[in-house]
Amino acid sequence: MKTKNDFMLRAIELSLSSANNNGGPFGSVITKKNKIIAEGSNKVTLSNDPTAHAEVVAIREACKKLNTFNLSGCDLYTSCEPCPMCLSAIYWSHVDNIFYANSRDDAKNIDFDDSLIYSEISKKNEDRKIPIKQMLRAEALKAFELWSKKIDKIKY
């Protein structure tokens, strides 16, 4: 029977392989009922996709394989503490547990520094580095009003 260490070692193996094959040094696996159902490694530069982090790649694969957007009952193992984007995706996916190896400080030490993003999240929109300006709210609210009245909506 596989253990948590086995799953983490697989995530680390994926990170090593990715680092050797022009991807970033990150790997992730998602398990369900003690079996790996999805794997991911960093493909940002390989696919020219800034969202193709190991965790997001694994989440996409798991959702496709299980034919659901809700990964309740699953655990995620990742070779590094998730960045803010990945952490958000993990929460949206509803996995039960997150296990990580390297810390965000370890990542920062090799120039994967997320501290700006972490600091930006708590700031007011007008104080952020990238300007965020609201516009056409009244027009956009029509979609929210439609959604709120929809009887057959699928909540997530």
| Tokens representing residue 129 in the block | 């580095």
Q: How far apart are CA 101 and CA 128, in angstroms?
A: 30
Annotated catalytic residue, options 13, 55, 120, 139 = 55
State the number of CA atoms in the 13 A half-sphere of 88 facing the CB: 7
Would residue 55 show up in a list of annotated catalytic residues for this protein?
Answer: yes
Burial of 16 (0-12, 13-18, 19+ CB in 10 A): middle
**Residues 91 and 56: beta-carbon distance below 8 Å:** no
| Tokens representing residue 58 in the block | 């694994």
Active site residues: 55
